[in-house]
A and B are shown apart, each in its own frame.
Chain A
C-alpha cells in the first residue's frame, strides 16, 4: 500500500465551525489523515456528530459557510495529484460529478419530484459531456439497466414517486455513476431503507465497484454494512480518527476500546447451549388470537367504504410471564399496529386479546383503567415521546395521576424519586426539561414513565433505533436488569435482528400483516425456515461466544 499510488489522500485535515462570527471551542474535524487506493472501499465509521460527513463534504469542497478549514490538504488524482483546496471553482466543478460523485442517505429527497428519472440522468450527462440528447437517453437506459432496474426503457420516463425507496436509491447510484467517476462517496447509502432492500443495494454497489474498479469512501454508523463492504476501516469519534485498520484485522481484534464498544453493540452473542435448551413452559401472560386490524378505504362524496387495508391480518401470539417476545418486521409490516391495538389506541376489527386469561377487548371504564395499568409502552423516538414543555417529574407523574397510583402528592414524588433511581438517573433531573437531557437519558425517562404505573407487560416499540450505537447497549442492559428485578414481561418490536439476538427469548417474524415464522431465538437464528427470515438475518453480524 504505497501512499503515492493512492487516489485520494487527506492529510492533517482540521475543520472548525463558527457561530455568530465566533469560532466554536471544539473542532468538528481534528487532524484527520487517511488515503484511499484505486479500487478500494474505505469505510469511515462513527456515530452522529463524529465529523465523518463534514470530512466527506470537504473532499468535494461543499462545506457550509460557517465551516473553516484550519489546516491540512486533500490530494486527488491518479497520475497528477491536485490539491483540492488550491483549485479554482471552475476546475472544481469539473471534478464534482465527473471525477468524484456522491450518493446521499435520503433517496426520497435527493431526486427532483417534478422531473422524470431519465431527464435527471440526461441532465447530468449533458452537463459533463458534449452529448446529444438522444444519445444521452440511450446511455441513461443503459445505466438504469446496469443498476438492476427492470424494464429500463419504460422506467426512464417515470417520476420518482412511482418508484419504491430501493428503486430510487438505485436511480441515485445510476446518476452518480453516469460520468464514470473514479471515487464514489456514499454517505449512509442504505440507512433509510428496509433491511432486506439494504442488502440488495449493498450487493449492487459492491458488484459495480468490482466491475468498474471504483474507489468508494463509505460513510456509515452501521458496522454490519462495513463488514460486508469495506477493505479498510477508520473509526471516528468527536472529530478524530481513533483507529485505522484493514477490515479483517479490525473485526478480529479492534484495538481501541471505543471500537470494541461499537462492535459489541452490534454483535449477537448467544450462548451456544441455548440451542438445545428447551424453555420451561410458563404461564402465558398475554395471548392474542386471530387479531385482525383493517383500515377502511373510503371514497366518494358519502365516504363509502370501498376496500380495506389489512394492516394486521389474522395473527396469534403468546407471551410467557417474565419473558421477552420479539416481533420483527420491516416498516409497513403492521408490527406497530399490533402494539397500538394491544394498548387500545386502536380498535381491532376482530380477534381476541387475553391478559392473564381475561378478555381485554370489551371492557368497562374501570376495567380499561386496569388494562392501562397492566400494559404500558415505550416509543421509538425519545425526542418526540416527551412533551418539550413539561419537566421530567411532571412527565413521570402524569400517568400516575391519571391512573390513580398513589393518591397524595408527596407519595407520588417519593415514587418518582425511587423510579429515577431504578432507571439510573440522578434525582436532580426531575426538574429538567427533556431538551436538557441526552438521547439516552430521554429514553430512560420514557422507561421511567412507563414503570411508574407498575405495569406487568411493557411494549418496547423500537426502543433503541433512534439512539447512537454506544448508548443502545446501555438501554438494553437497563431493560434486562429491570426484567430480572421486577419480573417484567416485554414485547419487543423491532426491525433490527441484532437487538433480537441479544435480548429476546422468542421471536415472531411479521411480513405484510402476517406472522410468517415463530420460534425461539435459537430456532430462528440457526434454522430459519422462510426466505424472508433469512434475508433479515443476513444483515446480522454473528460471532459465536468464546
Chain B
C-alpha cells in the first residue's frame, strides 16, 4: 500500500512531450532501419571514427537525455485529507528530471545570491539577538546553510565534496569501462585484458579511448554538480531566489524543442516545395515563388508577434482547455515552434530550388527520364540524396539560429511563456541584472555556457556527419 501511495501519480503528456516522444521514436526507427543497410552502417561508422565526432556525440547525448528525462511529466498525488473522496493531484507538474535532481529544485532563497555564496547578495535589516537592528548580508536559507557561523570551513567543505564526487565518478566510470570491455570481449572472443590494452593504446576502429575520456569528463562534471548542488547554489540564485543552475538545466528541454520541433515543421515544407519548384518549373514554380516572396516580404518578427498575440488572447479566453499553468506554457512553446517553422522554411526552400534547377540539367537525371522512371522515383533517388548535405548543414545552422531566435523573441515578450525556463528568458532577465551595480553576471554566464555547449556540440557533430556522407571524402 505504501509503495502504491508513493507511485500514485497522474501522468501528464504535454503536446511538446508527445512530439519529443515522436521524435525519439522516429530517431530510433531510423537507426534500426539504417542498421540493415550496409552502406549507411559503414557511413555512420565513419562518423564515429572521428575523434571530434564521437566526443561531440557524447555531449549531445547528455543534452538529449536530459531533455527526454525532462519530458516525462506527471502530477504527484496530494496527501489525503479527512473529508475527501478519491485522490487529489498537485497542481504542479513535475518531471522525472526533477525527481532525479531531488531536493535542490525546491530550494528557494529570497533574492540574488552569488555562486557558491552562503550569504545573500543584497543587505537586509536583521534583528540581532540583543534586539538591535543592523544592515548586513543575511545567511542563505539553503546555500551553505550547513557551514559554520563564519563560513571558515567553506573551502574545505568544497574540497571534501569534490573528492567525494571524484570517487563517485571513478566508480561509475570504472563500471562503464568494465562493461564496454566485457561486451567487446564477448563479441570478439578475446580476453578482456587484450581488449583493454587495445582500447588504451588507441588501436581500435572506433576511438573508444576518446569516447571513454569524454564520458569520463562528463560523468565527473555531473557527479561534481550533484555533490555541490546539494549544499550550494553553483550559479547563484536569480531575483526571486531560484537556483540558476537548476533553471539552466531545465532550459535544455526548451532549447532542444525549439531547435528540433521547429525543424520538424519546417523541413517537409522546405524540401517538398523547393524540389517541386525546381523540378517541375512552370506554374508550380510560379506559385511557390510567389508564396515565399510574399511571406519573406512580411517582417518575420511582426508575423510572429501577430500570431503569438492572437494566440495569447485565445488562450486567455479558453482557460478550460488548460488545467495547469504548465500546460498553458506548453501550448505557447508549441505554437512558437509552429510559427517559427512557418517563417523559417523560405531560406532552405530557395537553396533547394536553386540546387534542384542545377541538378535537373545533369546527365543522370536525363538518363533516368529517358528510362521512363517516374517523377516520384527520380526525386527520391536522384534529388533527395544529392540535396541531403544542404539540408543537413542548414538544419544544424538553423538549430543554433533557432535557439538564439527564441532568446530574441522572449526579449520582445512574444517568445515562450515567462514561467517556462529557457535560456532566452534568462538572458532577457540578465538585461536588467547587468545594469545593476554590482553586476549580477551569473544568469547570463550560466545561460551562455549551456547554450554554447549545445550549439558547439551540434555543429561539430554535424561537421563529422557531413564529412562522412560526402561521397568524395570516403577513403
What chain A residues lie within 8 Å of B369 (beta carbons)? 345
What chain A residues lie within 8 Å of B386 (beta carbons)? 387-389
> CB-defined interface of A371-413 with B at 8 Å, one 1/0 digit per residue?
0100011011100111111110001001100110000000000
Question: Is the beta-carbon distance between A387 and B373 smaller than 8 angstroms?
Answer: no
Question: Is the beta-carbon distance between A390 and B363 smaller than 8 angstroms?
Answer: no
| Interface residue ranges of B75-132 to A (CB < 8 Å) | none
Complex Cα–Cα for A308 and B115 (A): 76
For the complex, is A369 an interface residue (Cβ under 8 Å from B)?
yes
Complex Cα–Cα for A372 and B382 (A): 19
With A402-B377, A435-B472 as given contacts, are A381 and B363 in contact (CB-CB < 8 Å)? yes
A-B contact count (CB 8 A): 69
Question: Is the beta-carbon distance between A387 and B371 smaller than 8 angstroms?
Answer: no
Question: Is the beta-carbon distance between A403 and B366 smaller than 8 angstroms?
Answer: no
What chain B residues lie within 8 Å of A384 (beta carbons)? 362-364
Complex Cα–Cα for A343 and B363 (A): 13
Closest to B364 in A: A387
Question: Is the beta-carbon distance between B381 and A387 smaller than 8 angstroms?
Answer: yes
Question: Is the beta-carbon distance between B363 and A385 smaller than 8 angstroms?
Answer: yes
What chain A residues lie within 8 Å of B371 (beta carbons)? 372, 398-399, 402-403, 453
Question: Is the beta-carbon distance between A372 and B372 smaller than 8 angstroms?
Answer: yes
For the complex, is A433 an interface residue (Cβ under 8 Å from B)?
yes
Chain A: interface residue total (CB-CB under 8 A): 30
For the complex, is A449 an interface residue (Cβ under 8 Å from B)?
yes
Complex Cα–Cα for A371 and B374 (A): 16
> CB-defined interface of B440-475 with A at 8 Å, one 1/0 digit per residue?
000000000000000000000000000000011010
Question: Is the beta-carbon distance between A368 and B372 smaller than 8 angstroms?
Answer: yes
Cβ contact of A403, chosen from B364, B372, B382, B385, cutoff 8 A: B372
With A389-B385, A398-B381, A435-B471 as given contacts, are A377 and B370 in contact (CB-CB < 8 Å)? yes
Complex Cα–Cα for A382 and B26 (A): 38
What chain A residues lie within 8 Å of B472 (beta carbons)? 388, 435
For the complex, is B367 an interface residue (Cβ under 8 Å from A)?
yes
A31 → chain B closest CB, angstroms: 31
What chain A residues lie within 8 Å of B362 (beta carbons)? 384-385
Closest to B377 in A: A402
Complex Cα–Cα for A377 and B367 (A): 7
With A384-B362, A402-B377 as given contacts, are A369 and B372 in contact (CB-CB < 8 Å)? yes
What chain B residues lie within 8 Å of A402 (beta carbons)? 368, 371-374, 377
Cβ contact of A379, chosen from B39, B367, B377, B381, cutoff 8 A: B367
Question: Is the beta-carbon distance between A345 and B372 smaller than 8 angstroms?
Answer: no
Complex Cα–Cα for A282 and B386 (A): 45
What chain B residues lie within 8 Å of A381 (beta carbons)? 363
With A433-B471, A435-B471 as given contacts, are A385 and B372 in contact (CB-CB < 8 Å)? no
> CB-defined interface of B268-303 with A at 8 Å, one 1/0 digit per residue?
000000000000000000000000000000000000
> CB-defined interface of A410-436 with B at 8 Å, one 1/0 digit per residue?
000000000000000000000001010
| Interface residue ranges of A325-357 to B (CB < 8 Å) | 340, 343-345
Closest to A377 in B: B370
What chain A residues lie within 8 Å of B367 (beta carbons)? 377, 379, 385, 399, 446, 449
Complex Cα–Cα for A386 and B368 (A): 10
Question: Is the beta-carbon distance between A398 and B368 smaller than 8 angstroms?
Answer: yes
A280 → chain B closest CB, angstroms: 31
- Interface-centre pick from B368, B370, B371, B474 (highest chain A CB count, 10 A): B370
Complex Cα–Cα for A384 and B364 (A): 7
With A385-B362, A385-B363 as given contacts, are A343 and B382 in contact (CB-CB < 8 Å)? no
- Interface-centre pick from A344, A384, A387 (highest chain B CB count, 10 A): A387
What chain A residues lie within 8 Å of B370 (beta carbons)? 343-345, 372, 376-377
Complex Cα–Cα for A446 and B368 (A): 12
Cβ contact of A387, chosen from B39, B372, B382, cutoff 8 A: B382
A327 → chain B closest CB, angstroms: 18
Complex Cα–Cα for A495 and B264 (A): 50
What chain A residues lie within 8 Å of B372 (beta carbons)? 368-369, 372, 402-403
Closest to A385 in B: B363
Question: Is the beta-carbon distance between B364 and A386 smaller than 8 angstroms?
Answer: yes
B66 → chain A closest CB, angstroms: 35
What chain B residues lie within 8 Å of A372 (beta carbons)? 370-372
B471 → chain A closest CB, angstroms: 5
What chain B residues lie within 8 Å of A376 (beta carbons)? 370
Complex Cα–Cα for A369 and B374 (A): 12
Question: Is the beta-carbon distance between B471 and A398 smaller than 8 angstroms?
Answer: no
B29 → chain A closest CB, angstroms: 22
What chain A residues lie within 8 Å of B474 (beta carbons)? 433
Closest to B388 in A: A389
B187 → chain A closest CB, angstroms: 26
Complex Cα–Cα for A295 and B119 (A): 82
What chain A residues lie within 8 Å of B381 (beta carbons)? 387, 390, 398
What chain B residues lie within 8 Å of A403 (beta carbons)? 371-372
Complex Cα–Cα for A385 and B381 (A): 14
What chain B residues lie within 8 Å of A446 (beta carbons)? 363, 367
B117 → chain A closest CB, angstroms: 50
Complex Cα–Cα for A369 and B363 (A): 20
What chain B residues lie within 8 Å of A380 (beta carbons)? 363
- Interface-centre pick from B363, B374, B386, B474 (highest chain A CB count, 10 A): B363
Complex Cα–Cα for A128 and B382 (A): 53
A371 → chain B closest CB, angstroms: 9
Question: Is the beta-carbon distance between A379 and B471 smaller than 8 angstroms?
Answer: no
Question: Is the beta-carbon distance between B373 and A379 smaller than 8 angstroms?
Answer: no
What chain A residues lie within 8 Å of B364 (beta carbons)? 384-387, 395
With A372-B370, A372-B371 as given contacts, are A388 and B363 in contact (CB-CB < 8 Å)? no
What chain A residues lie within 8 Å of B39 (beta carbons)? 391
What chain A residues lie within 8 Å of B471 (beta carbons)? 388-389, 433, 435
What chain A residues lie within 8 Å of B373 (beta carbons)? 398-399, 402
A145 → chain B closest CB, angstroms: 40
Complex Cα–Cα for A380 and B361 (A): 13
What chain A residues lie within 8 Å of B366 (beta carbons)? 340, 345, 377, 379, 385
- Interface-centre pick from A340, A376, A390 (highest chain B CB count, 10 A): A390
What chain A residues lie within 8 Å of B377 (beta carbons)? 402
What chain B residues lie within 8 Å of A369 (beta carbons)? 372
Complex Cα–Cα for A475 and B183 (A): 53
Complex Cα–Cα for A343 and B367 (A): 10
What chain A residues lie within 8 Å of B363 (beta carbons)? 379-381, 384-386, 446
Closest to A375 in B: B370
Complex Cα–Cα for A446 and B366 (A): 12
Closest to A371 in B: B372
B470 → chain A closest CB, angstroms: 9
What chain B residues lie within 8 Å of A385 (beta carbons)? 362-364, 366-367
What chain B residues lie within 8 Å of A453 (beta carbons)? 371
Complex Cα–Cα for A381 and B377 (A): 23
Complex Cα–Cα for A377 and B368 (A): 11
Complex Cα–Cα for A377 and B386 (A): 23
Complex Cα–Cα for A385 and B366 (A): 8
Complex Cα–Cα for A379 and B373 (A): 17
> CB-defined interface of A294-317 with B at 8 Å, one 1/0 digit per residue?
000000000000000000000000
Closest to A404 in B: B372
| Interface residue ranges of B335-376 to A (CB < 8 Å) | 362-364, 366-374
B381 → chain A closest CB, angstroms: 7
Complex Cα–Cα for A395 and B365 (A): 11
- Interface-centre pick from A368, A386, A389, A391 (highest chain B CB count, 10 A): A389
Closest to A380 in B: B363
B355 → chain A closest CB, angstroms: 14
Beyond A387-B382, A395-B364, A402-B372, 11 additional contacts (C-beta under 8 Å) are: A376-B370, A379-B367, A384-B362, A387-B381, A389-B385, A390-B385, A398-B373, A398-B381, A399-B367, A399-B373, A449-B367
Sample (21) of A-B pairs whose CB atoms are under 8 Å apart: A345-B366, A369-B372, A372-B372, A376-B370, A384-B364, A385-B362, A387-B364, A387-B382, A387-B385, A388-B471, A389-B385, A389-B471, A391-B39, A395-B364, A398-B381, A399-B368, A402-B371, A402-B373, A402-B377, A435-B471, A453-B371
4 tightest A-B CB contacts, nearest first: A385-B363, A379-B363, A399-B371, A389-B385
